[in-house]
Amino acid sequence: MVVLLFGGSIFVHELGHFLVARRRGAIVERFSIGFGPALWSRRGRDGVEYRLSLFPLGGYVLLPQLADLGAIEGASTTDVNRLPPVNYTTKMLVFVAGATFNILFAFALACVVWVIGQPVSSTLSSTTIAEVVPTIKTADGNEVVSPAVKAGLKPGDVITAVDGDPVATFSDIVEHLALSSGWNKQGDRETIFTLRRNGEIIQVPIQPVLSGNEEIRKVGFTTVAKLALARIAPGSAAQKAGLQVDDQIIAVNQKPVLTVPQLVEALRTGAKQTLELSILRAGSSQTISLPPAADAKDAADIGIALKSDVIYAHPTPFAQIKESVVKTFRTFGALLNPRSDIGLSHLSGPIGIISSFVDVSKAGLPFALWFTILVNVNLAIFNLMPVPVLDGGQMLFATIGRLRGRSLPVNFIMTAQSVFLVLLFSMVLYVSFFDVRRIVRDNKIETTAPAKR
């Protein structure tokens, strides 16, 4: 699946350049997936060399009439001076085609996700606070009072916006908080939460702390989980009381239960008495009395099984693409903002992206498709940035040449591309170092986790 989706994303991008170049009559010398020496090469009847190269970190279409990127793609054997020049429109169409095909590929996958559903953890789909964590560990290992406690957040508060941007899920809150760049007059980090509490909208300033290995802003709370029933054991206390599959438990003895641990504790605490379960059934509230179960092996065992915490949403393809675009630009904005806590070390290079593909592919096809959509939108936007060696840089050179009436000097273009090539690969190496460190750290956690249990 990694080869299909990650490799497919690269292939689609280069296919866009290839097809449009051929359509516009430009010479295509090589179509390569990967960089460096060829692992496999074959020349087609159309005269194009099709190649799989050693380093699968991207790909390229060698277009000698449009761009001289010999440092990356290898020297061209075509005498460009004997070829007719391509016009400005052809250059722009060819260079933008890669990003366009990535967006079209993402849209096609989004249509599939629209049908099969986009997986979301139920604990990540709510913005209602379930529990406020009393303390939180900072990045330097100190245990401090959590910012949520200091700010006075309460269970039941509904977070509607972060720094003025609306949020619909816990994942939105985490993302906005991590990318936040607010500071108060005292020189402390500050993020503004907009809450709905008892029907009233209030704004609460919170001073988050940097926490975790990635040193990102955190506050210290969990959100509500959907406690829906997946199975009722035959003959159990739950069946006798009248509980049904899909019932959602919202309170025990009139005390709200917002997380699985809260439900287990409430059932265990009240095991020796009749329990009053408040449930939602088909959108309406009901109360069911549950007598003590003397034969249960565990005080919390009433004969129920909760549904998986993964629920499936069905956003439209346009909504999915828009979400990925907004995420990408929001991340770029935080990266360029000197007041944010996000740096290059938080980004992922090819190694990190491939590792993430492996992880999401293990979780199933819907997760893999969702991640592939995000990667393709990222790839499209990144390649259109006006940076030499990227598609956007080639479009910039072509546009400047069009405005000045003649092409930019070859030596200037070559120098600019060489400088930015070094910078680009330096950045890739830098973020790859942190990718490897994250992978090693996560593997250590997975290895030691069973022993701790």
pLDDT at 55 over 80: no
Among 167, 149, 243, 123, which Cα is nearest to 204's? Answer: 149
- For the whole model, what pTM was predicted? 0.79
Residue 332 lies in a domain: no
Residue 277 near residue 251, CB atoms below 8 Å: yes
Q: How far apart are CA 398 and CA 89, in angstroms?
A: 9
Looking at the structure, do residues 5 and 70 belong to the same domain, yes or no? yes
Averaged pLDDT of the chain: 85
pLDDT band for 76, please (50, 70, 90 cuts). low
pLDDT at 238 over 60: yes
pLDDT at 71 over 70: no
Looking at the structure, do residues 65 and 137 belong to the same domain, yes or no? no
Looking at the structure, do residues 255 and 182 belong to the same domain, yes or no? no
Looking at the structure, do residues 50 and 141 belong to the same domain, yes or no? no
Q: State residue 451's pLDDT score.
A: 43
pLDDT at 450 over 50: no
Looking at the structure, do residues 77 and 37 belong to the same domain, yes or no? yes
Looking at the structure, do residues 78 and 161 belong to the same domain, yes or no? no
Looking at the structure, do residues 132 and 190 belong to the same domain, yes or no? yes
Residue 441 lies in a domain: no
Task: Give the chain's domain count.
Answer: 3
Q: What is the CATH number of the domain that holds 262?
A: 2.30.42.10
Looking at the structure, do residues 289 and 233 belong to the same domain, yes or no? yes
pLDDT band for 297, please (50, 70, 90 cuts). low
Greater model confidence, 394 or 34:
394
pLDDT at 3 over 90: no
Looking at the structure, do residues 51 and 84 belong to the same domain, yes or no? yes
DSSP E strands, 126-267: 129-132, 135-137, 143-145, 158-162, 165-166, 191-197, 200-206, 209-211, 216-218, 221-223, 229-232, 248-252, 255-256
> Stretch 393-422: mean pLDDT, rounded?
86
pLDDT band for 452, please (50, 70, 90 cuts). very low
Read off the pLDDT of residues 350-389 as tens digits, 9 standing for 90 and up. Answer: 888 888 888 888 878 888 999 999 999 999 999 999 998 8
Give me Rg for the CA atoms of the chain. Answer: 28
> Stretch 162-171: mean pLDDT, rounded?
90
pLDDT at 72 over 80: no
pLDDT band for 306, please (50, 70, 90 cuts). confident
Would you say the C-alpha torsion 121, 123, 126, 127 has a positive or negative sign? negative
pLDDT at 121 over 60: yes
pLDDT at 191 over 90: yes
Last residue of a domain, one of 308, 342, 361: 308
Q: How far apart are CA 383 and CA 380, in angstroms?
A: 5
Residue 187 lies in a domain: yes
> Stretch 84-101: mean pLDDT, rounded?
91
Residues forming beta bridges with residue 217, ordered by sequence position? 210
pLDDT band for 92, please (50, 70, 90 cuts). very high
Residue 12 lies in a domain: yes
Residue 403 sits at φ, ψ, to 5 deg, of -70, -35
Read off the pLDDT of residues 133-143 as tens digits, 9 standing for 90 and up. Answer: 899 999 888 89
Last residue of a domain, one of 242, 275, 308: 308
Domain span at residue 26 reads 1-90
> Stretch 217-240: mean pLDDT, rounded?
85
> Stretch 247-258: mean pLDDT, rounded?
85
Q: State residue 392's pLDDT score.
A: 94
> Stretch 105-127: mean pLDDT, rounded?
86
Last residue of a domain, one of 167, 191, 224: 224
pLDDT at 272 over 80: no
Q: State residue 189's pLDDT score.
A: 93
Residue 336 lies in a domain: no
Q: Is 170 helix (H, G, I), strand (E, B) or coil?
A: helix
> Stretch 20-44: mean pLDDT, rounded?
86
Q: State residue 290's pLDDT score.
A: 82
Greater model confidence, 273 or 308:
273
Residue 434 lies in a domain: no
> Stretch 88-102: mean pLDDT, rounded?
94
Q: State residue 79's pLDDT score.
A: 62
Residue 82 lies in a domain: yes
Rounded (to 5) percent helix, strand, coil in the chain: 45, 25, 30
> Stretch 221-244: mean pLDDT, rounded?
85
pLDDT at 304 over 70: yes
Q: State residue 353's pLDDT score.
A: 87
Read off the pLDDT of residues 216-225 as tens digits, 9 standing for 90 and up. Answer: 999 999 888 7
Looking at the structure, do residues 214 and 291 belong to the same domain, yes or no? no
pLDDT at 321 over 70: yes
pLDDT at 94 over 90: yes
Q: Is 183 helix (H, G, I), strand (E, B) or coil?
A: strand
Looking at the structure, do residues 142 and 208 belong to the same domain, yes or no? yes
Residue 147 lies in a domain: yes
Looking at the structure, do residues 220 and 236 belong to the same domain, yes or no? no
Q: State residue 448's pLDDT score.
A: 55
The Cβ-side half-sphere exposure at 260, using a 13 Å CA radius, reads: 10
Among 442, 382, 393, 437, which Cα is nearest to 418's? Answer: 393
